[in-house]
Amino acid sequence: MVGTARDRVDGRLKVMGAATYPIDVTLPGLAHAVLVGSTVTSGRIRRIGVDAAERSPGVLAVITYLNAPALAHASATLRMGDPIGPQPLPPFQSDAVLHYGQHVAMVVAEKREQANAAAALIEVTYDRDTPLLSFDDPRTSPVFHPWTPDYDRGNVREALAAADVQVNETYTTAENTNNPIGLFATVAAWDGETLTVHDTTQHPHGVRDRLAVAFGIDPAGVRVLVPFVGGAFGAGLRVWPHVLLAALAAQVTKRPVKLVLTRAQMFTTLGHRPNTIQQVSIGASRDGQLAAIEHVSRSSIGMADELINLITYGTPHAYVCPNVSTRATQVRQSIPIPGWMRAPGEAEGSFALESAIDELSCALGIDPIALRVKNHAHVHSETGLPWSSNALLECYRQGAERFGWAARNPEPRSMRNGGQLVGCGMALSPRPNCTRSIGTPRQSAASIVMTVYGPGPISVAPLRTKAVPSRRIDAMALHGGWYASSAPRAMPYPTSCRPFRIDRGSGLRAGQPKRSAPCR
């Protein structure tokens, strides 16, 4: 173990089985919804036979695009961090089938077993289209978004041509599915125009706002509860179609409804890390000084979806380099809607860039760490501002010491354990996290109660934060370390144990950060 062991605030509840997840929620008069997925990849629904399902015992409703009400779509504002967008299109609004497993029907019944039995009786026939499944398919259309604009600094073409050493490589990354152990579930209940939802989500206010738009109600009338998320790995950051369908089922039946995805549906309806093809070209001098970096990326996206996927975002600022060019496009394909998963975009992009840096170190005969230290960006390459925090050089030093870097054989494919190759490498990945303090520095408590729709107690040593349901302030989405890095920063100097509450309009604002570049 590295570091000091810390108690988890929620540890005892979890090991005792006392933590309540959305899938555990039960309410009086609870009905159950089950979804039917498309068995084709692309096309249109020709006919849906629901008569037998509607006559099945215990069935309260069968809902398809033929009888579903209009659900409004929350258009993306193109701003990162927007509480709503971009989100998937609302379900059951047309006969179009855009991917395998797309929800095409929903059965609501008294018991889950009855809903399952009735769902099996639904017959769907399709007019099939030829799906788009390849980057090279001439029918595909590229997508360019403002949040991944082309970036140019200097003259990359001239610098590459004049470089002493060049590396030109193509890298591919495969799709990865988040698929945590716990099945995603939503429990929805209406009380007049007020909607209460228990949902497996990492962004309760995103769910609140999306439901408010879909059903045309005041966001103040939507309450989203998630004391414990369980596993999500980014899958809980988007408001998936089943969440809207659970609320719709509750509205139609005038009963509280629970909808639990099946394991198969976790693969096709909760997003995934999209696959990529990336070309990286690097030019450098003989002594290892970077002269040019070109990073071009293509990634897959659904046929009718918008997704922030910042694959090349960190490349321009990862190293000191006078000439940098990045291009990132998305290609529409007949695939389940992608989503965010564990350093979305950054993982794929840094893999390609850092692999090329390693190729360059091999071509130059320079140690990979030494090459990175030589090209370390001490300030933000575009603004010239110092980083708000940057411990990368110290990380290199400690990592090399702890992992015995100097003792390794630097020759590629030279280290073996019996008949198996043993890898020993390193890489960096820029991460644009920033922290802001809420409250007055040096007047803080060792325990924070954030008055938010939070996703549950979390431990951040040596501080503890607990999220409790409220309509007071918007909760930070629980992803990428943003929540953990932001909430505890309200209390950098713990002196006493005293919960506090922040109200809208109270005059207490988030502390303004020093003028600096984003964290690394």
Q: Is the pLDDT of residue 398 over 60?
A: yes
CA distance 454 to 247: 20
Give the C-alpha distances (Å, rounded to integers) separating 150 from 9, 356, 374.
Answer: 44, 20, 27
Q: Quick count: other Cβ atoms within 10 Å of Cβ 141?
A: 10
Using a 10 angstrom Cβ sphere, with 0-12 exposed, 13-18 middle and 19 or more buried, the burial of residue 243 is buried
Q: Are 271 and 337 in contact (CB under 8 A)?
A: yes
Using pLDDT thresholds of 50, 70 and 90, give the confidence band for residue 476. Answer: low
Average pLDDT over residues 164-173: 98
Least-confidence region, from 81-90, 148-157, 182-191, 299-308: 81-90
500 located within any domain: yes
CATH number at residue 107: 3.90.1170.50
**Could you say which DSSP state residue 408 is in?**
S
Domains: count for the chain: 3
More confident residue, 371 or 430: 371
> Please, which residues have CB within 8 angstroms of residue 435's CB and are 6 or more apart in sequence?
485, 486, 489, 513, 519
> Please, which residues have CB within 8 angstroms of residue 419's CB and are 6 or more apart in sequence?
none
More confident residue, 513 or 161: 161
Q: Is the pLDDT of residue 155 over 90?
A: yes
Is 378 strand, coil or helix? coil
**Could you say which DSSP state residue 135 is in?**
T
Q: Are 325 and 156 in contact (CB under 8 A)?
A: yes
Range of the domain at 468: 434-520
CA distance 485 to 480: 9
Count of alpha carbons within 13 angstroms of residue 80, beta-carbon side = 10
Q: Is the pLDDT of residue 247 over 50?
A: yes
> Are 98 and 185 contained in the same domain?
yes
401 located within any domain: no
The pLDDT value given to residue 290: 98
The pLDDT value given to residue 78: 46
The pLDDT value given to residue 434: 53
DSSP sequence for 418-444: TTEE----------------BS-TT-E
419 located within any domain: no
- Quick: pLDDT tens for 348-360: 999 999 999 999 9
Q: Are 124 and 104 in contact (CB under 8 A)?
A: yes
Average pLDDT over residues 76-105: 80
Q: What phi and psi, each to the nearest 5 degrees, are found at residue 244?
A: -65, -35
The pLDDT value given to residue 301: 93
The pLDDT value given to residue 166: 97
The last residue of one of the domains, among 336, 352, 377, is: 377
> Are 305 and 370 contained in the same domain?
yes
The pLDDT value given to residue 474: 58
CA distance 119 to 123: 9
> Are 35 and 169 contained in the same domain?
no
Q: Is the pLDDT of residue 154 over 90?
A: yes
> Are 171 and 191 contained in the same domain?
no
Q: Is the pLDDT of residue 470 over 50?
A: no
Pairing of strands 222-225, 194-199: parallel
Using pLDDT thresholds of 50, 70 and 90, give the confidence band for residue 5. Answer: confident
The pLDDT value given to residue 381: 86
More confident residue, 162 or 236: 162
> Are 217 and 76 contained in the same domain?
yes
Angle between helices 241-253 and 204-215 (to 10 degrees): 50
The pLDDT value given to residue 82: 54
1 located within any domain: no
> Please, which residues have CB within 8 angstroms of residue 480's CB and are 6 or more apart in sequence?
343, 431, 433
Q: Is the pLDDT of residue 141 over 90?
A: no
Give the C-alpha distances (Å, rounded to integers) separating 47 from 67, 131, 194, 508.
Answer: 13, 20, 35, 57
CA angle 475, 476, 477 (to 5 degrees): 110
Using pLDDT thresholds of 50, 70 and 90, give the confidence band for residue 295. Answer: very high
pTM check: above 0.85: no
- Residue of 237, 205, 226, 261 whose CA lies nearest to 87: 237
CATH number at residue 373: 3.30.365.10
The last residue of one of the domains, among 268, 299, 332, is: 268
The pLDDT value given to residue 233: 87
> Are 58 and 27 contained in the same domain?
yes
The pLDDT value given to residue 342: 83
> Are 192 and 155 contained in the same domain?
no
CA angle 60, 63, 69 (to 5 degrees): 115
More confident residue, 491 or 151: 151
Average pLDDT over residues 101-113: 98
> Are 294 and 247 contained in the same domain?
no
Q: What percent of the chain has pLDDT over 90?
A: 61
**Could you say which DSSP state residue 518 is in?**
P
> Are 61 and 112 contained in the same domain?
yes
CA distance 296 to 151: 10
Average pLDDT over residues 18-35: 95
> Are 32 and 122 contained in the same domain?
yes
Q: Is the pLDDT of residue 69 over 80?
A: yes
460 located within any domain: yes
The last residue of one of the domains, among 268, 294, 321, is: 268
CA angle 63, 67, 71 (to 5 degrees): 90
Using pLDDT thresholds of 50, 70 and 90, give the confidence band for residue 487. Answer: low
389 located within any domain: no
Give the C-alpha distances (Å, rounded to integers) separating 417 from 411, 414, 422, 423, 426.
Answer: 15, 10, 6, 10, 19
The pLDDT value given to residue 6: 77
- Quick: pLDDT tens for 504-514: 333 333 333 33
69 located within any domain: yes
136 located within any domain: no
The pLDDT value given to residue 432: 62
**Across the chain, what does the average pLDDT equal?**
84
> Are 38 and 106 contained in the same domain?
yes
> Are 154 and 303 contained in the same domain?
yes
